[in-house]
Structure 1
């Protein structure tokens, strides 16, 4: 895997005892069509009971989907992200009647077969912070590849 020098969190939820992060490492194949826009990332989940890490690759469509998930979370809705059938699925659920806590679940059914679920009580304006993290990832690694046909790609014109 080839990475650029900078890295950034796409998601960072923590309450001191438990945490969940999706950390972007950089482009999978910088300068190589069509892999230029693919981002290598790692998922980290920790609590007093578990500690897990999983490598993933994010496509531009999955980043766009995450922006929709952020909007749904802001509206008080549960979300399911990365459910493509060939990698992990991430769920963030609001427990009934308690908007101070979210439950984060990751399930890697097609890979390791493992799943984990932890409650997190994020502080302050955590949803606003997630939007800032998303915006920073988009700014650091903008989409620069355009798919012009089946299996055909070109650089976006600026």
Structure 2
């Protein structure tokens, strides 16, 4: 969903009580090679806690989010942005221990904080997340081409 201020939702998991969202704010800057780097914020809200965490990611991370959505559709738990130096977003599907999906936000390399938020999700929630992903990739298509290690040029 595109907001009036140009922010686009990449992730929007909400049940009216608890929510985890990732708002994409825009490109980092018009400089090679970081032009495709997208700034975003993770927003967590529940009756118990709320918080914001600034993040950034590359188009390759969006490809990994697409694969994570495929895995969720196949009934597998996922972790996204788990590259060892930043926050991780994990989604655990219902199982014998928990009857609703749970979203884990972990900022172990930054603040050292983590939170697990249960979110009751309606049927079709994975396809809704795919729609958000499509909107992000259409709004901010990749404009940088890596031609060799350490070498970049603008896409034509």
With structure 2 as the length reference, what TM-score do the two structures score? 0.92
Which residue of 2 is the match for residue 151 of structure 1?
150
Alignment of 1:51 onto 2:50: yes
Distance 1:125 1:100, change over 3 A: farther
Structure 2, gaps ≥5 residues long: none
Partner of 2:130: 131
CA distance in 1, matches of 2:99, 2:41: 26
* Distance (whole Å) between structure 2 residues aligned to residue 63 and residue 88 of structure 1: 15
Alignment of 1:17 onto 2:8: no
- Over aligned residue pairs, what C-alpha RMSD do you find? 1.5
Please report how far the alpha carbon of residue 26 of structure 1 lies from its aligned counterpart in structure 2 after TM superposition: 0.3
Contact 1:100/1:122 (<8 A) preserved: no
- Detail structure 1 runs of 4+ shifted over 4 Å in the superposition: 97-100
Q: How does 1:1-158 map to 2 (within 5 A)?
A: 6-29=6-29, 31-97=30-96, 101-157=100-156
Shift of residue 100 of structure 1?
6.6
User: TM-score, normalized by length of structure 1?
Assistant: 0.91
What SS does the aligned partner of 2:117 have? strand
How far did residue 68 of structure 1 move? 0.2
Figure out how many residues of one structure are paired with residues of the other and give that number.
152
Runs of at least 5 residues in structure 1 that lack an aligned partner in the other structure: none
